Amino acid sequence: MNAGFRLLRSTTPAPRRLVRVAAWSAVECLPALVSGVAVAHAVDALTSGRPSASTLWLAAIAAAMVVGAAATRRLYAAMSPLVEDLRDGLMTATVRGTLAECARTGRPGAATVTQTIEQVDQVRNLVSAVLRSFRSTVVPLASACIGLLLLDHRLGLAALVPLAAALALQSLLVPRTVRRQRHAALAQEAFGADTAAVLADLPPLRGLGADTWGRERLLSGADAVAVAELRVVRTTALRQAVIALGAHVPLLSVLLVSLPLLRDGSLSAGAVVGATTYVLTVLAPAVSSFVAVSGGWVVELVVLLDRLALVAGRPGPESGSARTPSQPTQGYAVELRDVAFAYRPESRPVLTGLDLRVRRGEHVAVLGASGTGKSTLARLFAGLEAPTSGTVHAAEGLCFVPQEAYVFAGTLRENLLHLDPNVAEARLREAVAVFGLDDLADRLCGLDGEIRSHDERLTAADRQRVVLARAWLSPAEVVVLDEATSLLPLSDDEAVEAAFTVDGRTLVTIAHRVDVARRAGTVVYFDGADVHTGRHAELLDAHDAYRDLHRHAALYAH
């Protein structure tokens, strides 16, 4: 709850705006404040034959009403930036929180982002409803109390005692409502997460003929949401008791109390009419609104902010990289000295005692079977993992391209310029030509053609081409490609490598296609737990396993 309010405060820029909303709400209620008193006086003046006094009282009401109506307009103008800023702030904080977690873990995390966005919108609606309710709750409650006491303190007390009891009862009911509402919110979230996950994985589910499973899963989620919501609904029945106590009992008690007072002449008929006017027209609606707002909207708001604070508060990656900040020796792009690495202290180390130096402008190929630590090596280069022991030095501005080809909804141009938005048009065109993206650009109707989320017009190979071109357009001097050409025709590999190395960049390719070794200056070969480094020819001579790998691949290619 505290975290929720901290989030609210950090995203609401100026508390002064809140004051402005409250002030206009109060002005807006001016007619409500004066109506009872003015009506009483106007009626008394008329019955006692003083029409001019009566007219003055009516004029007072009229003036108050005009001011009130004008204030309404100002109120909306004051609320609009407040609420929209709040929504922007919450949206930004939660989207950042979501991506911070992705950046920290390198994994997608729970697919609840649709839900989160919806919750932000609910907060927006709730906050504006609560703000708007000032004029129907707090202000009229206060003005009715003051008005009743001013009119006649005996009648005032008759109305206010049950009102106080009603407010006390409401404060007892709210915590229980908060609990049930929180439960409902959790059910909603679970359903939202399931919905996003199942819908995103619907194609593979259909491939397995397991779509019925997905359907059952979603249906049971929707059922759970309904059950939780019904529990919340049941608490609302109790609210009516508060309304009866705060709105209906005061009406009866005012009439009862006035009976003897009228008889002994210490109370005017106008005062009774005025008091009932206050109770009926100001107090009763205000109590209903207050109960609805505090037991409904405020509760939902507390629960939602609580949930959103969890998302917004997710930590990002540790600042900087896991790598030792020092630069490699002059003339080298990456240096590893006696590096060992294990994912967990107790697990088998992936790398031990590894020494490796990559010269600037060199093309290094990393080969070996799956699961031998090739990708770990790339992550060490990129500073995404810290070595368990030893040191890693790498040049600034190293661009690591992971296996998954990340193409996002947006134009093809945006996707290509993702790592450097300032690339010249000519170079962009060159990238399109070099990486064979002309065909894709045609299908998308140009570089500014929109790529949609899950766009089926893009093949997996298209995505790899986009990602390769993106890395090529980045300013990085050192590029590390992890299986980045796996879906391209074999014949494209050489052109891709040449494109990267031609202007003197350092290229490290992690590949399962062994052909790359012939073209690389240095080969790093992961042979089980051993790592051998050398030129292709040297390794062919020195290691039987390496020779077998190439012989096998040659057979396999035909």
Partner 1 sequence: MRTTTWRLAPTWALTTVGLSALAALASLAVPRLVGQSLDRVTTGGDAGESLVRLAAVLVVVSLCSAGTGLSSGAYAARVTQRLRARAIASVTDREARRVTSAGDLATRLLVDAAQPAAALGIAISITLAAATLVIGLVSIALIEWWVLVGLLLGLVALVMVVRRFVADSTPSLEAYRAGQARIADRALDAQRGAASIQAHRTWLTEAERVLTPLDGVRAAGRSLWDLQGRMAWRSGVFVPAALLVTVAVGGVSLARGRISAGELAALIGYTTLVIGSLDGIEAAAGLASVRVGTRRLAHITTAIAAAPRRGASPSAPRGAVAVTLSGASAWTDGTDAEPTVTDPVDLTVGAGRVATLSGPAALTGAVARLASGAATPAAGRVLVDGIPLRSLAPDAHVAALAGARPALLGDTVAGLLTIGLAGIDREAVRSAAAAAHIDHVIEALPEGYDTPLADLALSGGELQRLGIAQALLHGSGLLVLEEATSSLDSATELEVVRAVAGTRGQRTVLIASGRPALVAIADDSIDVTSASRCLPPARVTVGSMESENDDGLILTGEPR
Which residues inside 70-109 make contact with partner 1, applying CB under 8 A? 70, 72-73, 75-77, 79-80, 83-84, 87-88, 91-92, 95-96, 98-100, 102-109
For residues 7-26, which are near partner 1 according to CB under 8 A? none
For residues 125-184, which are near partner 1 according to CB under 8 A? none
| Cβ-contact 525, 378 below 8 angstroms | no
Closest distance of CB 330 from partner 1, Å: 25
In angstroms, the CA 293 to CA 129 distance is 8
| Cβ-contact 465, 435 below 8 angstroms | yes
In angstroms, the CA 557 to CA 544 distance is 20
46 makes contact with partner 1 (CB under 8 A): yes
Closer to partner 1 at the Cβ: 211 or 538?
211
Closer to partner 1 at the Cβ: 114 or 326?
114
Closest distance of CB 24 from partner 1, Å: 11
Applying CB under 8 A, which of residues 3, 18, 23, 117 lies at the interface with partner 1? 117
Residue type at 313 in one-letter notation: G
| Cβ-contact 392, 324 below 8 angstroms | yes
| Cβ-contact 242, 166 below 8 angstroms | yes
Closer to partner 1 at the Cβ: 15 or 265?
265
In angstroms, the CA 12 to CA 90 distance is 9
Closer to partner 1 at the Cβ: 178 or 243?
243
Main-chain phi, psi angles of 350, to 5 degrees: -80, -35
For residues 461-520, which are near partner 1 according to CB under 8 A? 461, 467, 483, 486-487, 489, 512-514
259, containing H or E segment: helix 249-263
- Which ranges of 106-201 does DSSP label H, i.e. alpha helix? 113-133, 138-151, 153-200
Closest distance of CB 15 from partner 1, Å: 20
Applying CB under 8 A, which of residues 208, 445, 498, 542 lies at the interface with partner 1? 208
For residues 226-285, which are near partner 1 according to CB under 8 A? 226, 229-230, 232-234, 236-237, 239-241, 243-244, 248, 251-252, 255-256, 258-259, 262-263, 269-270, 272-273, 276-277, 280-281, 285
| Cβ-contact 417, 373 below 8 angstroms | no
Closer to partner 1 at the Cβ: 204 or 353?
204
- Single out the segment in contact with partner 1 by CB under 8 A; choices: 48-56, 142-150, 155-163, 324-332: 48-56
Closer to partner 1 at the Cβ: 1 or 529?
529
- Single out the segment in contact with partner 1 by CB under 8 A; choices: 6-14, 49-57, 150-158, 331-339: 49-57
Applying CB under 8 A, which of residues 111, 138, 334, 356 lies at the interface with partner 1? 111
For residues 526-555, which are near partner 1 according to CB under 8 A? 549, 552-553
Closest distance of CB 19 from partner 1, Å: 19
Tell me the two tokens of residue 357: 């130096």
Residue with tokens 């949401």: 225
509, containing H or E segment: strand 506-510
3-class DSSP assignment, residue 356: strand
Applying CB under 8 A, which of residues 198, 312, 336, 523 lies at the interface with partner 1? 198
- Single out the segment in contact with partner 1 by CB under 8 A; choices: 16-24, 141-149, 169-177, 205-213: 205-213
3-class DSSP assignment, residue 506: strand
Mask for 370-409, x = binds partner 1 (CB under 8 A): xx---x------x-x--------------xxxxxx-x-xx
Applying CB under 8 A, which of residues 414, 430, 477, 527 lies at the interface with partner 1? 414
391, containing H or E segment: strand 389-394
Applying CB under 8 A, which of residues 66, 150, 168, 529 lies at the interface with partner 1? 66
Closer to partner 1 at the Cβ: 357 or 418?
418
Tell me the two tokens of residue 291: 């109960």
3-class DSSP assignment, residue 400: strand
Closest distance of CB 160 from partner 1, Å: 18
For residues 315-344, which are near partner 1 according to CB under 8 A? 316-317, 321
Q: What is the DSSP-derived secondary structure letter of residue 452?
A: P
3-class DSSP assignment, residue 135: coil
| Cβ-contact 250, 158 below 8 angstroms | yes
Closest distance of CB 96 from partner 1, Å: 5
Closest distance of CB 430 from partner 1, Å: 22
Closer to partner 1 at the Cβ: 499 or 526?
526
For residues 418-437, which are near partner 1 according to CB under 8 A? 418-419
Q: What angle separates helix 284-292 from helix 153-200, to the nearest 10 degrees?
A: 30
Look at strands 332-341 and 351-359 and give their pairing: antiparallel
Applying CB under 8 A, which of residues 453, 491, 504, 544 lies at the interface with partner 1? 453
In angstroms, the CA 378 to CA 400 distance is 7
In angstroms, the CA 436 to CA 493 distance is 12
3-class DSSP assignment, residue 527: strand
Residues in contact with partner 1, counted by CB under 8 A, come to a total of 160
Which of 31-55 are b and which e, b meaning 16 or more Cβ less than 10 Å from the residue's Cβ?
bbbbbbbbbbbbbbbbeeeeeeebe
In angstroms, the CA 301 to CA 124 distance is 9
Tell me the two tokens of residue 56: 């003055």
Closer to partner 1 at the Cβ: 353 or 397?
397
